[in-house]
A and B are shown apart, each in its own frame.
Chain A
Amino acid sequence: MKHKRSNEPLFWAPFIAGGGVAALFLPALIFITGIAVPLGWVDASQLANAATNIIGRLFLFVLISLCLVHWAHRFRFTLLDLGVHGGRKLIAFLCYGAAIAGALLAAWLTLW
């Protein structure tokens, strides 16, 4: 039997990592920027400091990239679930394309 090699794992491996990273980190981060900052627990200099040091920058790069891939992979199927059946390839291209563009932007903003 011949097996056709699939490029799917290339997409779902980061997707699973993205799901895990989102599950573990997003609630706390959203709490920090959405509630702790308005309450005055975190000020601009603390936020800037955390996002400027090398660990913070690497962390944000990985987190942002994986969250975007996680979004792209799941949103593709959400559209199917919502009855959008045409242009599957175009939708996949746009979703993953946007995620990759966002990841590159994150790399530029954090690592340069």
Chain B
Amino acid sequence: MPATWWLKKRVYFMFMMREFTAVFAGAYAVLLLVMLGKLKRGEIADFVGWLHSPLSITFHLVALAFAIYNTITTFNAIPQVMPIRIGEDKLPAPMLIAPNYAAWVVVSLGLVFILTRPLS
């Protein structure tokens, strides 16, 4: 099979995009390692300066799109991957999916709130 098979159909392409989300998750983890390294050496201001650069902002915007795509596809797949049965009945898909979105909203707002609050 040619290496470009995934460009032939939209569903194949979206499958491959989901695969690529892990590449961005890994790249972002490396970025966090760089941040921790800079922090340890007392050079966090350099790193924050770099975060303002067009290169950084471009990377983050692309990585954010992939991260959100990963979140949505992961949550929506949960009823297929981890079905829960009560007796004979399968728990309806929305009941498995919705709590994850709720947790995502709470966690995201919580993180942004913690990070953006002024230091006392």
Give the B-binding residues of A (Cβ under 8 A): 18-20, 22-38, 41-52, 60, 63-64, 67-68, 70-75, 77-78, 81-83, 102, 105-106, 109-110
Contact = CB atoms under 8 A, between A and B. Distances in A.
Contacts, number: 159
Contacts of A48: 39, 44
A24 B45 contact: no
Nearest to A26: B67
B110 to A, nearest CB: 8
Given A34-B59, A34-B60, A102 B111 contact: no
Contacts of A44: 44-45, 48
A73 B33 CA distance: 19
B44 A32 contact: no
B2 A29 contact: no
8 contacts: A24-B107, A26-B25, A26-B71, A27-B108, A32-B111, A51-B35, A68-B29, A78-B23
Contacts of B23: 71, 75, 78
B84 interface: no
A63 B63 contact: no
Nearest to A61: B36
Contact of B32 (A37, A63, A74, A77): A63
B57 A34 contact: yes
Interface in B14-37: 16, 19-23, 25-26, 28-33, 35-37
B11 interface: no
Contact of B116 (A26, A38, A42, A102): A42
